[in-house]
Amino acid sequence: MGTRSVGMVENRYFDSVFLMAAARRISEQPGIENVAAVMGSDANKKVLEKMGFDPAALAEGTPTDLLIAIEGEKNAIEGILSNVDDWLKRPESRLGNKTAFSLEDAMTQQAESNLAVISVPGEYAAQEARDALERGLNVFLFSDHVSVEDELKLKQEARERDLIVMGPDCGTALIAGTGIGFANVVRQGPVGVVASSGTGLQEFTSLVHRAGSGISHGLGTGGRDLTDAIGGLSTLSAISALEKDPNTTVIAVISKPPGRETLDRVLERLHRCTKPVTACFLGMDEEAMPTDLQVHTTIDDAVKAALRLCGGDAPSIPGAAPEGLKALIAEQVSLFASDQCFIRGLFAGGTFCYQAQQVMKLSDVMVASNAPLPGMARLGSESAGNVFIDMGADEFTVGMPHPMIDATQRRKRIVEEAQDPTVAVLLLDVVLGYNASADPAGDLAEAIKEARELAATSGRQLAVVASVCGTDQDPQGLDVQEQTLRDAGAIVFPSNAQASRFALALHLKLLERGIDVDS
């Protein structure tokens, strides 16, 4: 364990997306092990204390001060903290070098704006969102830790003003081709999307693009919008907005299972929609699916439905030929040791963790997870059996960069899980696009190689199965990212559902050999 030190930059606010990227850049420096860059709120200081940083060093920080907590070699830390401004430089914005210190300043500089992007600490986010609504602005609320009560009030006020609140904890949106948050570069086209899931929206829009079609708008709603506590207020507003939009031909809704009352409300609205609609409710039991609407349990199937509804010669999403997959499965199965059969999924995208569980559930395969699907087990302190981990969950990201930005924690976990002699498959996702790592596949490549080498040294095969969420227009380069994974020894698929089904097929074939899974 290295030295721990805390630096403070007084009275300078930075949004969480910028701080995650800054922390990642610092963490890549020689001699640096862990970095947390957060504003000095009481909640953040408590998190840093739990991480082992000295409470006395944190005490003077206020919510308007930036705290940079670093663990590593003493000289490396001193080098960072003595030149901290170098790590806090922002790229030039559309406003040039002008900086707005309030919403009023920003509106003076860009009076034509109709959308406010808010990424302040959760205890201040609701008031900032309320101020934006009062000025007639739609709101993209990236901030989390906003109370359910505040969310409901904000969304009720937005409905009254014919506006939309996307969030809180909204990670992705696409407005007329412009990405906000973690978005991919996709062509514009006839499909409009409403999603309570950030990576779900990314996967859907990327697959539509890769099939040759395009997206009119992608509207995120925040993960709680379709709970009965909120009632789908933003989802309903977004459906109405897309219904009125002349550039939208087909509407798709992507979500985890809505609350019972909210599901009825959303289905009733979809029945009344004047445009063709499809939906994907991840985790919903198939017997609960409505039969009079195109509702699906995987994003791939929702994409295929949307493309069909566009009419004409519908393009198809990419995928491997079934016969080729059968041969690959047979080849892989012959290489495993007799006691190998389990899957360990390590996901940057929470939706991908959820959807992979859904694929397993449809074949009655049990999984333990820190974000379990209904009917699945909650993960304990140690991995055993099939385990799927959402590494973007709060226990991994509070005070730390998200795994879509910084792969440090996931690299360590890949190597750890590979040392279990019962593990046959590592299931991974790689997410491209704005604000993601500049080389997410490269960030994982050495860990993948090390994991496979560890298994080989013990006389075992380790299949690394990965999917890449992104497009050929993303700054990281889809082809380059896929090839980087293949060069590291991974089997690569164009979607999380396809990768999960391949991992499932391997698992089931290995079970057919008569392995005692309880041993």
Helix (H) or strand (E) holding 8: strand 3-9
Separation CA 113–CA 516 (nearest Å): 62
- The token duo for 457 is 């040294």
By residue count, the chain amounts to 519
Indicate the pairing of strand 66-72 with strand 32-39: antiparallel
The residues, ordered by sequence, that sit 6+ positions from 210 with a Cβ below 8 Å of its Cβ are 317, 318, 471, 472, 494
Q: Of all helices (H) and strands (E), which one includes residue 390?
A: strand 387-390
pTM here?
A: 0.87
Are 402 and 172 in contact by the 8 Å Cβ rule? The answer is no
Contacts of 249 (CB under 8 A, 6+ apart): 190, 191, 216, 275, 276, 309, 310, 311
Look at the domain 3-88 and name its fold.
Alpha-Beta Plaits (3.30.70)
CB atoms within 10 A of CB 363: 11
- CATH numeric code, 103-309: 3.40.50.261
Local confidence pLDDT in tens for the 519 residues of the chain: 678 899 898 887 777 777 877 887 888 889 888 888 888 888 788 878 887 898 898 888 888 888 898 988 989 988 999 888 888 876 555 445 466 667 777 788 888 889 999 988 788 899 999 999 999 999 999 988 899 999 999 999 999 999 999 999 999 999 999 999 999 999 999 999 999 989 999 999 999 999 999 999 999 999 999 999 999 999 999 999 999 999 999 999 999 888 989 999 999 999 999 999 999 988 776 666 666 778 888 999 999 999 999 986 656 777 766 777 888 998 898 899 989 999 999 999 999 999 999 999 989 999 999 999 888 999 998 899 999 999 998 888 876 778 998 898 999 999 999 999 999 999 999 999 988 999 999 999 999 999 999 999 999 999 999 999 999 999 999 999 999 999 999 999 999 999 999 999 999 999 987 544 433
Q: What is the pLDDT of residue 98?
A: 60
The answer to whether domain 3-88 and domain 103-309 are alike in fold is: no
Picking from 160, 137, 155, the residue whose alpha carbon sits closest to that of residue 226 is 155
Here the tokens at position 36 are 């947390």
Give whole-number Cα distances, 6 to 71, 79, 282, in Å.
Answer: 9, 13, 41
**If DSSP states are collapsed to H, E and C, what string results for 229-261?**
CCCCHHHHHHHHHHHHCCCCCEEEEEECCCCHH
CB contact at 8 A, 205 and 174 = yes
- Which of 467, 464, 412, 420 is closest to 443 using CA atoms? 412
Instruction: Return the pLDDT at 476.
Output: 96
Cβ atoms of 236 and 272 within 8 Å: the answer is no
Distance CA 7, CA 139 (A): 33
> What is the residue extent of each domain of the chain?
3-88, 103-309, 322-511
CA angle at residue 272 from 266 to 276, to 5 degrees? Answer: 90
Q: Describe the strand order of the beta sheet including 215-220 as a list of residue ranges.
A: 178-181, 172-175, 215-220, 191-195, 250-255, 277-281, 294-296
Backbone angles phi, psi at 250, to 5 degrees: -130, 145
CATH classification (class only), 322-511: alpha beta
Among candidate residues 222, 244, 243, the one with its CA nearest the CA of residue 140: 222
